[in-house]
């Protein structure tokens, strides 16, 4: 069991490191960066949907069946709860906007709000990763990949927001990394919760699935719909299928239910 806790810490810390990823794209032109990000967004959409429908939900349903419990209704309510929860979180995160032009003397509140929102998002990511590992190590690894696939385009965007808001590169990297470390805090909190409640996993996994479905369907895919050319749409569809295909491949390799 102790090994699981080590896996959780390592996985959540690796996820935190991706908060530094944005710096590698500073030298790219806006057009080229947008192409890369859109492909990563499509890949992430496929990975999140694949993890939700092919791994998280089948695994928690199988766990309920093996325990001789009829928790199916509770599981589906959890999925709905996850969708609503992530909707509410987005409303909170994007609540305030400032219209004063950015400068070195006036750091845009959108930068500060972005850091707060990102920290909250990473906190939840840590709990998601920990919950998946506590159910099954393989599920934890796969869910970590799904989280990272979403983190990469998000962190590129977050880093860009901080630069636009007036932060210097080093300070933007530092603050972004500090917000990324909240995934470690989320993982630790999830482990603590699991000590006090055996039903924590039954609670967190369906919510995770609902959250992944919401992010993919309400955040990522609508972004892809803004590009209407045939070639770009084909590339995005290829990215979605690549993310889904990777999750299908893992399902067969690890013999998931």
Taking only Cα atoms into account, the Rg of the chain, rounded to an integer number of angstroms, comes to 19
The answer to which of 63-67, 72-76, 201-205, 211-215 has the lowest mean pLDDT is 63-67
Write the pLDDT tens digit of every residue in 225-236: 877 788 888 989
Does residue 238 form part of some domain? yes
Domain with 106, as residue range(s), is: 2-12+31-253
What value, to the nearest 5°, has the Cα angle with vertex 176 and ends 117 and 10?
A: 100
Residue whose C-alpha is closest to residue 150's, from 92, 217, 238 = 217
76 belongs to a structural domain? yes
Q: Which two tokens stand for residue 231?
A: 């070639």
Contact assessment for residue 145 and residue 9, using Cβ atoms and an 8 Å cutoff = no
20 is a domain residue: no
pLDDT reported for residue 101? 42
Asked whether residue 26 is assigned to any structural domain, the reply reads no
* 3-state SS string for 19-33: HHHHHHHCCCCHHHH
Separation of alpha carbons 90 and 217, rounded Å? 14
Residue 140: inside a domain: yes
17 belongs to a structural domain: no
Residues 174-224: tens digit of each pLDDT: 988 999 999 999 999 999 998 888 788 888 999 999 999 999 999 889 888
Confidence check: pLDDT of 82 > 60? yes
- Counting Cα atoms < 13 Å in the Cβ hemisphere of 147 gives 32
**110 in a structural domain:** yes
**Total structural domains in the chain?**
1
Tell me the pLDDT tens digit for each residue of 4-62: 999 999 999 999 998 888 777 776 777 777 788 888 889 999 999 999 999 999 888 88
pTM comes to 0.84
pLDDT of residue 229: 83
Q: Are 31 and 195 a contacting pair, CB within 8 Å?
A: no
**What span, in angstroms and rounded, lies between the C-alpha atoms of 59 and 132?**
10
């Amino acid at each position: 069991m102790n090994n699981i806790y080590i896996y959780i810490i390592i996985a959540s810390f690796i996820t935190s490191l991706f908060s530094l990823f944005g710096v590698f794209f500073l030298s790219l032109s806006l057009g080229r960066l947008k192409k890369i990000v859109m492909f990563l967004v499509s890949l992430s959409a496929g990975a999140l949907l694949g993890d939700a429908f092919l791994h998280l939900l089948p695994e928690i349903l199988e766990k309920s069946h093996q325990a001789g419990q009829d928790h199916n209704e509770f599981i589906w309510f959890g999925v709905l709860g996850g969708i609503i929860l992530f909707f509410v979180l987005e409303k909170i995160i994007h609540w305030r906007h400032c219209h004063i032009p950015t400068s070195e003397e006036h750091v845009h509140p959108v930068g500060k709000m972005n850091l707060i929102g990102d920290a909250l998002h990473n906190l939840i990511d840590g709990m998601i990763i920990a919950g998946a590992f506590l159910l099954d190590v393989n599920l934890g690894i796969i869910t970590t990949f799904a989280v990272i696939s979403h983190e990469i385009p998000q962190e590129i965007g977050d880093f860009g927001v901080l630069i636009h808001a007036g932060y210097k590169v080093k300070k933007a990297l530092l603050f972004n990394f500090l917000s990324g470390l909240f995934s470690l805090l989320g993982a630790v909190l999830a482990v603590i919760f699991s000590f006090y409640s055996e039903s924590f996993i039954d609670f967190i996994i369906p919510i995770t699935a609902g959250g992944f479905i919401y992010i993919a369907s309400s955040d990522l895919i609508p972004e892809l719909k803004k590009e209407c050319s045939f070639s770009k749409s084909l590339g995005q569809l290829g990215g979605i299928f690549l993310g889904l295909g990777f999750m299908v491949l893992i399902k067969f390799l690890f013999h998931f239910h």
